[in-house]
Amino acid sequence: MAGRNVPIVLIPRFTTYAGATSFITAAIPVSPYSALNFDFWHGPVIGTFGSIILALQESNDGSRWDDCTGSVPGIAPAEGEVPVSVTITKAWLRLVVALAGTDMAVTCWAEGFFERREK
C-alpha cells in the first residue's frame, strides 16, 4: 500500500542532553498509526557511572502515561544505533531519554516511521 509508512524525527540529529534527569519529547498525536519503527543512536555516555535509559510511553488523556507494547521498559541501549519497534494502542505517544550519573552528557538522535492503521 502506497504511503503506508509516515516518516518521523523524534530527536533531531545530533541532539546533546546534559544532566542527570529525564528528557521527554512533546506528546505526538498517533491515533492514525498502529506501530512505530525507528532507530535510536547515541554516542559515548560522558560522566561518572553514567547510564542512559530509553522508554516509549503512550496515553489517552495526556496525564497518565504507560509503557508502549513492545517497548521494554527502561531499555539501556548500547552505544551506536539500535532498532526499536513498538505497537501503538492509545492516542498520544512520547519518547523519554533518562540520564543517570554524575556530570552526565550524551549526544543522540531518533528517527523512523509510523505505520498507518489498516482500515
CA distance 96 to 74: 9
**What is the value of pTM for the model shown?**
0.89
Bridge partners, 6 (sequence order): 114
For 10-50, what is each residue's pLDDT tens digit? 999 999 999 999 999 999 999 999 999 999 999 998 888 88
For 57-90, what is each residue's pLDDT tens digit? 999 999 999 988 765 556 777 889 989 999 999 9
Bridge partners, 40 (sequence order): 82, 110
Q: Which domains does the chain have, with CATH numbers?
A: 5-113 (2.60.120.660)
**pLDDT for 48:** 87
**pLDDT for 29:** 97
